[in-house]
Amino acid sequence: MTAIRKVLANTWLDAISLIVIGIVFVVPFIFIFLTASKTGPEAAMFEFSLPTNFQLFDNIREVLEFRDGRMLLALWNSTILTVGSITLIVLLSALVAFVMQRRQDRVASLASSIMLAGLILPPAVVPTIFVLQNIGLYRTLLGLIMVEVAVTMPFAIITLRAFMATIPREIDEAAIIDGASPMQVFFRIVLPLLRPAIITVIVVSSVGIYNDFAGPLYFLPGAENVTVQLTMYSFISQFTSQWHLLFANVLVITIPPLVMFLFFQRQIVSGMTKGAIKG
């Protein structure tokens, strides 16, 4: 009887979890999909119903062709922004985490406090704009990449440092005795062992940077610098709103991070398994 009760309890927990996930994630996505498949007047009614005339592909094509391919330019800019930011975040954060973890002094403690402050304190918009203007990087993708790197690095450093604490120091010492330099120890020994944490940083940070709305709005103004999140302004105005195109636009924006998550999901499981075996 006890075993049967445990099975029933686990079944109820699984059922409740599936219901919650369906309400929070699946139902809104279905609503977006259905609304993006409707005509303009029908989408403006905001009803959870099947479209009378299914025209999802026509709406997506209109979104992609809007203003001479503004969405394609936005996808390209967002891709450059995300890839460039993630590359610098992973490299710089891993180097900083390596030094902070292997050093046990006041400087490392002070740096840890600064990292924690970076997670809590919001970025200052106006001073950052002044700095970017003075160095000539305002309204440029490079300037926004630097901002995204600065904002995201505290999270990445803390994540990598926590995982790096599980790597024995004896590995570093053995490599140094064999004649390896500190940079060789990092790139050849420590960095490959950080794969699970690096994948976590890549997934979480890339989704956050790709979905960032405030950063491009403040630091990357201009029609030629549009990113995917800012394209939602294209179909909303003070007097008219094209809801069917807006939801089709949201659907197009959602596809890249969804595909990336499905791709990295297997990588996360594989990396965590390998890391556990090595540990």
Residues 43 and 115 in one domain: no
Whether residue 237 has pLDDT greater than 80: no
Residue 175, domain member (yes or no): yes
Q: Between these two residues, 181 and 62, which has the higher pLDDT value?
A: 62
For residue 194, what is the domain's CATH number?
A: 1.10.3720.10
User: In this prediction, what percent of the chain has a pLDDT beyond 90?
Assistant: 28
Residue 251, domain member (yes or no): no
Residues 206 and 141 in one domain: yes
Residue 125's domain spans which residues?
A: 69-235
At 159, the amino acid letter reads T
User: In this prediction, what percent of the chain has a pLDDT beyond 70?
Assistant: 90
The mean pLDDT of 121-141, rounded to a whole number, is 88
CA nearest to 84, candidates 239, 257, 205: 205
Residues 111 and 75 in one domain: yes
Residues 22 and 82 in one domain: no
Mean pLDDT of the chain: 83
Residues 151 and 228 in one domain: yes
Which SS3 state, helix, strand or coil, does residue 195 take?
helix
Whether residue 152 has pLDDT greater than 60: yes
CB 198 within 8 A of CB 94: yes
pLDDT band at 194 (very low <50, low <70, confident <90, very high): confident
Q: Which two tokens stand for residue 251?
A: 């659907």
Residue 188, domain member (yes or no): yes
44-88 pLDDT, tens digit each? 888 888 898 889 999 999 999 888 888 999 999 999 999 999 999
How many domains does the chain fold into? 2
Residues 24 and 154 in one domain: no
Residue 134, domain member (yes or no): yes
pLDDT band at 89 (very low <50, low <70, confident <90, very high): very high
Q: CA end-to-end span of the chain, whole Å?
A: 39
The whole-number pLDDT of residue 274 equals: 47
Residue 263, domain member (yes or no): no
Whether residue 195 has pLDDT greater than 80: yes
Whether residue 245 has pLDDT greater than 70: yes
Residues 52 and 127 in one domain: no
Residue 275, domain member (yes or no): no
Secondary structure (DSSP) of 58-118: HHHHHHHHTTTTHHHHHHHHHHHHHHHHHHHHHHHHHHHHHHHHH--SHHHHHHHHHHHHH
Residues 45 and 76 in one domain: no
The whole-number pLDDT of residue 278 equals: 44
Residues 45 and 179 in one domain: no
Residue 241, domain member (yes or no): no
Residue 40, domain member (yes or no): yes
CB 111 within 8 A of CB 257: no
